[in-house]
């Protein structure tokens, strides 16, 4: 998972740690950055962050080709990374692709 840390000067740094293993603070270039729950929960504007590679709805790398075929067959052509993660162009495309696979994202408020 990605966790956010903030220095005293307000610089936000993202670091990946296993879930539940993130330290309360990290050292970056000799400065201490503390975990920032505010930065982690900040919403992303609808136009920012696209295209988005979605790890949560991805498959094993060996199944990437099957996932591409699944999207094509459903009429929602979607690029899939070599790691098996779908790459959504925008929110509308993401919604259609998830629906085609029978996935409901309750956190997306759609």
57 and 93 share one domain = yes
Has this prediction a pTM greater than 0.85?
no
The pLDDT assigned to 63 comes to 96
- Asked whether residue 73 is domain-assigned, the answer is yes
Signed CA dihedral, 40, 45, 50, 53: sign only: positive
Tally the domains of the chain.
Answer: 2
Question: Cβ-count burial of 94 within 10 angstroms (0-12 exposed, 13-18 middle, 19+ buried)?
Answer: buried
- What is the per-residue pLDDT across 31-81, written as a single tens digit (0 to 9) for each? 899 999 888 876 555 556 789 999 999 999 999 999 999 999 999 999 999
65 and 29 share one domain = no
66 and 28 share one domain = no
Nearest CA to 3 out of 29, 38, 30, 47 is that of 38
18 and 65 share one domain = no
The pLDDT assigned to 110 comes to 47
31 and 77 share one domain = no
Which domain does 36 fall in, by range? 2-41
């Amino acid at each position: 998972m990605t966790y956010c840390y903030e220095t005293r000067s307000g610089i936000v740094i993202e670091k990946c740690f296993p879930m539940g293993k993130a330290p309360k603070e990290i050292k970056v270039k000799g400065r201490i950055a503390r975990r920032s729950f505010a930065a982690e929960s900040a919403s992303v504007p609808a136009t920012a962050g696209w295209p988005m590679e979605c790890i949560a709805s991805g498959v094993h790398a060996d199944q990437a080709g099957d996932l591409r075929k699944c999207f094509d067959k459903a009429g929602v052509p979607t690029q899939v990374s070599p790691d098996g993660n779908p790459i959504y162009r925008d929110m509308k495309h993401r919604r259609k692709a998830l629906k085609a696979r029978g996935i409901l994202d309750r956190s997306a408020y759609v």
